[in-house]
Amino acid sequence: MKKIINYTVMSVLAISLMTSCAVIRPGEIGIKQRLGKIVGEPKLQGIKFYNPFIGRIIRMNVRTVECPNRLILPTKEGLNVMADIVLLYHMKPEKANDIYLTFGRNYQEVIVLSNFRATAREISARYETKELYATEREKVETAIKEELSTDIEKYGFIVDAVLLKDFQLPDQMVQAIQDKVNAEQAALKMEFVILQQKKEAERLIIEAEAIKKAQDIINSSLTDKLLQYNNIEMLKNLSNSPNAKIIITDGKTTPFITTDGK
C-alpha cells in the first residue's frame, strides 16, 4: 500500500513538473502571466518554469510573417481592380508584452492587416489602372510600405516588404490598355521613320550638291583649245581603226562620223 502511495505521489509530482514548464522555441518569445497579470520581461528561447495553477506562458511569434491578401483596390479613374498583395512583417521582441496587452493574440488582424488594407486602398487611388498594371508597381509597393510602417511601427511591428503579385482586370480594360500601349509604340516608331526620312533627304541634298560642284569644276576646265586637242586625238585613234569610215568636219567643230557597217 505504501508503495502505491509513493508511486502516486511521484506520478503527481512528475505530471506537475511537466505541466509547470514551457519550451520557447527559436523564433518565439514567451510572455509570463501570473494571476492575470504580465510578469517580467519577454522570455527568450529555452525552458521556462511557472506555476500552472496561477499562471501560464504565452508564446508569441517574432519571425517574419507572410500574409497573402486579395483586395479590391480603387484607381484614380474611379475603377476597381482585384489585386493579390503579399505583406511581410515581424514583431519587435521587446514589444511583445505591450502588443499582447493592447491587442491580444489576434494582433495581426486587429492592427496589422486592418491598417494594411486601408493603406493599400489609399495608395492605389493615387494611380491610374495602367500604372498599377504595368509601369508603377515598385512605386506603389514602396509607398504602401512606407505609410504602413508609419502607422504600425510605433506599436512594435516592422514592415519587411509589400509585394504586388497580380492584378485581375476586365478583359475589355486589358485590351484597351494594350491598344493604348501599342498606339504609343507605333507613334514612337513613326517618329523614328520620319527622322530616318529627314536624314535620307539631307544625304541626297549633300550628294546632289557634290555632283553639281564636280560638274561645275569639269565645265570650267573645258576650254576651246582642250576640246580641239581632244578632237585631234580622237581622229588619230579613228585613223588607226580597221573599219572604213567617213569623217565630215570643217576642222573647227566636232566631226560627224559614219561607217560602212563593216
Strands 256-259 and 245-248: antiparallel
- Of residues 162 and 184, more confidence is placed in 162
CB 137 within 8 A of CB 164: yes
Predicted pLDDT at 17: 43
- Which burial class, exposed, middle or buried, applies to 176 when counting CB atoms under 10 A from its CB (0-12, 13-18, 19+)? middle
Average pLDDT in the chain: 78
For the record, the C-alpha cell of 216 comes out as 561645275
pLDDT of amino acid 5:
53
What is the spatial distance between Cα 138 and Cα 123, in angstroms, rounded to a whole number?
12
H-helix segments, 69-170:
96-103, 107, 114-124, 129-130, 137-152
27, 65 in Cβ contact below 8 A?
no
Tell me the pTM. 0.57
pLDDT of res. 220: 72
For residue 226, the Cα-to-chain-centroid distance in whole angstroms is 74
Of 20-24, 81-85, 176-180, the least confident: 20-24
One-letter identity of residue 58? I
Contact predicate 112/103, CB 8 Å: no
Distances in whole angstroms, Cα of residue 14 to Cα of each of 2, 8, 48, 49 = 18, 10, 16, 14
Report, as an integer, the average pLDDT of 48-68: 77
Residue 226: which pLDDT band, with cuts at 50, 70 and 90? Answer: low
User: Which residues have a Cβ under 8 Å from the Cβ of 134 and sit 6 or more positions away?
Assistant: 177, 181
Query: Could you give the angle at which helices 137-152 and 114-124 cross, rounded to 10 degrees?
Result: 140
